[in-house]
Amino acid sequence: MRKCMLTAAAGITMNKIVECVPNFSEGRDEEKIELIVRAIASAPDVFVLDRDMDPDHNRSVITFAGLPEAVVEAAIRAASTAVELIDLNRHTGEHPRIGALDVLPFVPIRGVTMDECVALAHRAGDRIARELRIPVYYYEKAALEPDRTDLADVRRGGFEALRDEITRNPDRFPDAGEAMVHPTAGAIAIAARAPLIAYNINLATQDLSVAKKIARAVRGRDGGLQNVKALGIDLRNRRQVQVSINLVDYQSTPVFRVFEFVRREAERYGVMVAGSEITGLIPQSALNACADFFLRIEDFSEDLILEHRLQKELERAGWTWVDHSEKPVEPEAFKEDESSVPDSRTLDGFANEIAEGAATPDGGSVAAYAGALAAALGAMVCNLTISHRQEVKADVEGVFDQLDQLGADLRLAVEEAAESRMSLEDAIALPRETDGEKLARTFAIEEATKNAIAVPQRVAQSAFGVIELLFELSEVVNPAVLAELASGAQLALAALRGAAYNVLSLLLTINDEELNSTHRVELRDLIVRGHQMAADIEAIFLQVYPIDSIET
């Protein structure tokens, strides 16, 4: 059940926006959740954007946003109300939890840095520990200790285990408050983090072991997809099981890739995907490479999109929507003659831009362009195969749809790679006369470099996805199109390698050892697997067209 509420003073310009997504250990009593929503909405300058109740998880997620200090106040009111209404001693549900208000993440949306959200998280935690006598643990970017970055480590064993260990095990002592759980409200985990997508995939089976095996396969920490956390959950009310997923970096690991991974794993066990669903809201950018029919999202509508809902409520209340990302409109007299601007959407224009020797476009853009061409060759193979082999039409059409999505993502990355490189050049050009300027420049370069890494990393993943799909096609295509298939595989492999080279060169300037290790491990895996599949496709081609029969 989803509802939207609003409280705001009309006419205020909101140029700093923080989102908060508290999770409550109550998903069956609508009256209790309504009271918590009212408590949040009672804080001035806050918008309640969404609520989502799940009886199987016995958990509710409420999404609200507003001015930074107002969001902290609303969070305290939510925690106070949850203490009065929820008793963990009587709580049962599929989802792990340590508190009545179980997790409280602060997310920067507009005009607010991650460091500011960390400060907000610590401020809220100090108040909750002091005013409500609830022990607090900080995780993600707000973590005070490295081994508490991952929420799963903080929440290990749930409320019952924490209740027994918090008083005697120093490793379980809280970051704020007394080493004793609240008798009914337990403890709370508070974070500052990037936007997270809570995305669940429901399977057409009641076999929980299948969901748990797939969750283990897709989980990043167990060798699956990076940036993915997953659990297998029993949906007794629906007579299904679910792979419940938290996607912590949807730009590096797109939603559609997670869906396809789970779908293919399910097929190994003879199980179909029944549908998928979003818990809470999803950023618009996460849907750029997805279509609602492709993901089979249940009850999908624009009101699930965070930015869409927030802008609508702001405008309805008479607030001003300030978008600092939009470029100012230039007067006609200052606009360039469009005929003089190189057209990067044509091969000639793109090649000319590269040859000019400017900082952008660079190798990352070229890798994305190559990957897009590989996807286009794959789409060509699909169309030619469908026209000659109707018996495989359904399977090939599915591959075509995925290649189309990957091609669109790679074409988008051509421009994104250039933009991220320009941002890095801007950071490098910052002044460095004083110690303060030098420090600010160092931080700016590191942040810009991390952002610049995200695009070629995504290109490498998408190029690998193209190779995987071409490998699928190699089993069903007509020999007449094997040349295009093999060419596409080699082109996609070049795109994968080129993107990887870009990432590796940028990683040299990053001091974050964990980030370095994560990217290097994933790239090594993608290159090894991609090379093997491309070689297998080439071997199939050479079986039909042996190299010794080609005249030289």
What is the token pair recorded at 129?
């520990």
From the list 95, 122, 182, 308, the catalytic residue is 95
In 3D space, the residue among 221, 485, 460, 512 whose CA is nearest the CA of residue 375 turns out to be: 485
Q: Which sign, positive or negative, has the C-alpha torsion 390, 392, 398, 399?
A: negative
360-549 fold: Four Helix Bundle (Hemerythrin (Met), subunit A) (1.20.120)
| pLDDT tens per residue, range 181-228 | 999 999 999 999 988 888 999 999 999 999 999 999 998 888 888 888
- Res. 237 pLDDT band, cuts 50 70 90: confident
User: Taking a C-beta distance cutoff of 8 angstroms, is the pair 243, 200 a contact?
Assistant: yes
| pLDDT tens per residue, range 89-104 | 888 877 889 999 999 9
User: Taking a C-beta distance cutoff of 8 angstroms, is the pair 159, 95 a contact?
Assistant: no
Helix/strand/coil for 430: coil
Task: Using alpha carbons, list the distances in angstroms from residue 520 to 1, 384, 467, 502, 514.
Answer: 42, 38, 20, 12, 10
The share of the chain scoring above pLDDT 90, in percent, equals 40
95 catalytic residue (yes or no) = yes
Q: What integer pLDDT is reported at residue 330 of this predicted model?
A: 37
Burial class (CB in 10 A: 0-12, 13-18, 19+), 210: buried
pTM of the predicted model, to two decimals? 0.49
Distance CA 222, CA 507 (A): 24
User: Taking a C-beta distance cutoff of 8 angstroms, is the pair 135, 176 a contact?
Assistant: yes
Q: What integer pLDDT is reported at residue 339 of this predicted model?
A: 36
The DSSP element (H or E) to which 138 belongs, if any, is strand 136-140
Of the listed ranges 14-23, 277-286, 348-357, 373-382, the least confidently predicted one is 348-357
Q: What integer pLDDT is reported at residue 284 of this predicted model?
A: 67
Q: What integer pLDDT is reported at residue 479 of this predicted model?
A: 79
| pLDDT tens per residue, range 440-480 | 777 777 777 777 788 888 889 999 999 999 999 988 877 78
Domain boundaries 1-194, corresponding CATH code: 3.30.990.10
With 60 as the cut, is the pLDDT of residue 180 above it? yes
Domain ranges (residues) in the chain: 1-194, 195-318, 360-549
The residue type at 310: L
Q: Measured in whole angstroms, how far is the alpha carbon of residue 412 from the centre of its chain?
A: 17
**CATH class for the region spanning 195-318:** alpha beta
| pLDDT tens per residue, range 108-129 | 988 899 999 999 999 999 999 9
Mean of the per-residue pLDDT values of the chain = 82
Question: Same CATH topology for 1-194 and 195-318?
Answer: no
- Res. 338 pLDDT band, cuts 50 70 90: very low
